[in-house]
Structure 1
């Protein structure tokens, strides 16, 4: 069957190369078919690889286990992480396709997400700590963000496995383990340091970032050209490239600037510790809801292999995590570093779903409050039903 030959050939091509370097001609050649024949089955490279991703997920996300309940969820999550560790190109494929506007691709990825959610939902069905649908959403988000940190920022995959175990402890009412690693991301891979520039160059660099930021408020990222940014900043294109080697590098700095001024890391020491955590999360979600194109670009930049871009994004993550770490430490949450990592993972993953796939922010806020309640309960040892988040 030609359909099967094409999909198998696409798998073979991805086994030896990255998605962004694979051409449709390569797949057609591997399948022994004309390119025109391939296009009769798949209208685009993205639509073909969306099918590849769905089949790979079905084969690797462990549907069956002799374990039951949250333990089965733990085994499933560990299997997912191991699969991505062994074949990280499939995770990079997922991140790239997630930014696609093709309705066929979106439909395939929605199906992948729904299937994974259903597996976890069934795993958590007997949990009395939190509603199964919420536990499934939280686990998916933590796995995704933890693998993201490993694939793009150099965190150990062991950290991802560790966070899964912490989530399972929360789901069954156990305090999360105080024994933990640092879970740091690699944020020093050639990141530009503006403070090292002379004052007049700092001002020029700042003007480039401001013009790029304003362009993003008026246009989609794909419509913006570096030549227009240079024109608005009243400099030559060559001068701009002396400060930023690419459009992606410019917008990584725009994202850092936007995040810094979004209110997410504002001082909230006037609030009680528990209220501080909730206020911090609300501020992040408010910022993302107000500027969805900025958040979308943040996600899009993850598919860029440039180390400078990844370094800047890594710094944003590290800053967010350290801010949440201080808040959670004030609440005396055990292993506050892990809790901060999981909390930021949940914010990012759920927001991505809303902006890219039409969810809603009120539901995200509700799930975030459920998770915050779990963390606070782990700090003071109170039972889940006393905190008001029983299923």
Structure 2
């Protein structure tokens, strides 16, 4: 998939640097050329000799190398690449990028380029969670820098939590999504997923049985088709895919704000099982039993995100909804499509015994202005692939 592509790989200083050796091997096997840049700290963890041997190219590590400056120069070095990958992207490197600093070769290359940048963060969990790092991350994303990871797991320092660099296979998937030239290359796809949790009190909430599996599968298929994916997810039990921009929310109102903030998009796919109602005034204390009297809960209607985006000034070219029904599936889905103003509805029967909601498979009735189309029951990845293929064909004018 990457034949003829050139990757400028900047290796930061962290124990995860050893994973970049496998990443280089995978990139070369996929047909890409790799130009390695080793930071001074990175050289404490992997050697220039090992990096150069795997990359098949000279390692660049000195801003003041007179030979390099005469032959190519650090500015040109950063501009001949199709993609710049920073792995591991340490807290220090991220801070330099966010602040526009250029005091070594790696940071100078990152500042002196308009080439797309993908970073794979890796650091101690407390460093990752520090407000300064999160502030820098927000700035970088705002500047268009793409991210993959970090993962949750055990740290070399003995702590556990988010901060592990993504595995080379996941970084490869993110690189291929960026450069693979798929049918959705250059498109922005917005996907919502999972349930929402509507609080009753600090320990109780209203929810549903959605696992988020179908939404994650659709985001992954869109990513693999080359799209930039904004993935707005409620508290799902299925983890989000790598190589997408993940925005985590809890409630329907938070999801609405995240969706509107992610616009404009070419396609919006509303897979999330958003709660229709919320408790109007959640208690700020745990509600206690009192002499057998049952609590009285006043409900309020949640925002209709699908309908709002369907009528929005920045309406995507395609707006697609999902309808989880227990009876008269196609009829309810047709009515929902007309009522919401969206282009397509994917309806599924989630009644008892189907195993659809929270399960590994889905059975879809595809509803459009042209009518209803039954899709055979299949795994959720297969359903996602079929939907993304349909979307790509529509955007290409083939439908």
Query: Bigger radius of gyration, 1 or 2?
Result: 2
- Structure (1 or 2) with the greater helix fraction: 1
- TM-score w.r.t. the length of structure 1 is 0.28
- Answer 1 or 2: higher relative contact order, Cα 8 Å, separation at least 6: 1
TM normalised by structure 2 equals 0.27
